[in-house]
Chains A and B, each alone.
Chain A
Amino acid sequence: SAVISQKPSRDICQRGTSLTIQCQVDSQVTMMFWYRQQPGQSLTLIATANQGSEATYESGFVIDKFPISRPNLTFSTLTVSNMSPEDSSIYLCSASRAGGWTDTQYFGPGTRLTVL
């Protein structure tokens, strides 16, 4: 298994500002992912964080709004830029050791973001 921590655990932000969420894994992993979960809803994949290269974004998510970094095999950040109330969600980081998306993913505890 893998233990994943996220910082901050929650935040309340003003419209128009940006927030960077950090994700730390306790050991090297192959794949890291960022998800958004709106209140009472399922998870939607934002992007796959690629080590040493640009993240791969899903339809509806763009780099200017959600820049992602992954400088090494245990750490990634997601920035939510120019926030609006519609960005209020839980943001979850996950990691997979082996084959990637088809194998078990380990999740962080999430970051609960409220935008006023």
Chain B
Amino acid sequence: SQQGEEDPQALSIQEGENATMNCSYKTSINNLQWYRQNSGRGLVHLILIRSNEREKHSGRLRVTLDTSKKSSSLLITASRAADTASYFCATDDTDKLIFGTGTRLQVFP
């Protein structure tokens, strides 16, 4: 399978702490995306980072990309209870997106 793998599978933190999720993938990419999925809902696009970029910020989100290691990380700073969700990375593969296995983040108030 070419599916990306994310770790940790699950993460529990307190409000105000930072959350870091990692994504590893197997093939060359044009870009990598991160999505959030609240329980029982559709996915929401968070950020897209292109293969020639190393770091990107959006609000409290910081994404890094290391194409030599085929890995990416998503950092959520100053987490809030509303950040509780599953987070997926997705990479492009010829003609489709390949979604990672996901990280379930629980933020306790």
Chains A and B bind each other? yes
A residues with a Cβ closer than 8 A to B are 4, 33, 42-43, 45, 48, 56, 58, 90, 92, 94, 100-110, 112
Do A109 and B30 touch across chains, with their CB atoms under 8 A apart? no
Q: Report the count of interface residues on B (CB-CB < 8 A).
A: 21
What chain A residues lie within 8 Å of B88 (beta carbons)?
42-43
CA A96 to CA B59, docked complex, whole Å: 23
Do B101 and A42 touch across chains, with their CB atoms under 8 A apart? yes
Do A107 and B44 touch across chains, with their CB atoms under 8 A apart? yes
The 9 tightest CB contacts between A and B, nearest first, are A107-B42, A102-B92, A107-B43, A43-B99, A109-B42, A42-B99, A101-B96, A104-B45, A110-B42
CA A90 to CA B100, docked complex, whole Å: 17
If A105-B45, A109-B42, A110-B40 touch, whether A42 touches B92 (CB-CB below 8 Å) is: no
- Using a Cβ cutoff of 8 Å, how many contacts connect chains A and B? 50
With both beta carbons as reference points, the residue of chain B lying nearest to A1 in the complex is identified as: B45
Do A109 and B95 touch across chains, with their CB atoms under 8 A apart? no
B3 on the interface (CB 8 Å rule)? yes
CA A108 to CA B92, docked complex, whole Å: 20
What chain A residues lie within 8 Å of B41 (beta carbons)?
109-110
11 sample A-B contacts, Cβ–Cβ < 8 Å, listed by A number = A4-B42, A42-B100, A45-B96, A48-B95, A94-B43, A101-B92, A103-B48, A104-B45, A105-B97, A107-B42, A112-B40
Do B97 and A101 touch across chains, with their CB atoms under 8 A apart? yes
